[in-house]
Amino acid sequence: MKRLICVEDDADIRELIAYTLSNYGFDVIGCENASGFYKASASFIPDLILLDIMLPDTDGMSILKDIRSDTRLKRVPVILLTAKSSQMDKIRGLDGGADDYITKPFDIMELISRVKALLRRSGEPDGETVSFHGLVIDHAGRTVAGNGADISLTYKEFELLRMLALNTGKAISRGALMNRVWGTGFEGESRTLDVHIRTLRQKLGDYGKYIETVRGVGYKAV
């Protein structure tokens, strides 16, 4: 059974999420604030985290930063739940390491679909290791290393890099990348992909130059 942590200060929303997800076979731990989250995550590593940005004791982005810097939690998929719906808020959330971003009010069934899609992809068994211009991309361990140093990537950044590296020299359409990494049911803006590619290039440093934009098509690794 997949275990999730839902950090949401609105009791009605938190209970609705927990109740619905439990009906789909998930074990959900609800937390109303940051302190509750830190206590829960100290006792086990969740399979996915649903995180509200606006919390009473701290900003959700601060929690996200802690998650991505924690060796235990940094590879756990995170979906942000927030009433902040501007494009810049979304970009800030994705750049901060979130794997998905859902604005309130949201359809509960869409949330379930997003959770399933993200868990499905984060749990795919595949032990293949890919070498790319000196980068070592280990799918089983979900690690990336270059020049002897680990490069910390979010789940979606990792999947984008791996898909591009496996298809070096081939232009991959934006639609194909979105479907593979976000799932066929995802109808987010294409800007989401651009933000992830930009952040991926930044994290890869000198290796980022090997990911090229193919105008009118998508992206390719060279």
pLDDT in tens, 145-194: 988 789 988 888 888 999 899 889 999 998 888 877 776 555 555 678 88
Residues of the chain with CATH 3.40.50.2300: 3-122
pLDDT at 6 (0 to 100): 97
Tens digits of per-residue pLDDT, 90-113?
777 777 888 888 888 888 998 998
- Residue 39: pLDDT band by 50, 70, 90 thresholds? very high
**Topology of 3-122 in CATH?**
Rossmann fold (3.40.50)
Residues of the chain with CATH 1.10.10.10: 129-221
pLDDT at 186 (0 to 100): 54
Nearest to 137 by CA among 211, 69, 215: 211
- Residue 201: pLDDT band by 50, 70, 90 thresholds? very high
- 129-221: in CATH 1.10.10.10: yes
Q: Which of 7-21, 109-123, 184-198 has the lowest mean pLDDT?
A: 184-198
Q: Is the pLDDT of residue 37 over 80?
A: yes
pLDDT at 188 (0 to 100): 58
Tens digits of per-residue pLDDT, 53-82?
888 888 889 999 999 889 889 889 999 998
Q: Is the pLDDT of residue 203 over 80?
A: yes
> Is the backbone peptide bond immediately before 105 cis, with ω within 30 degrees of 0?
yes
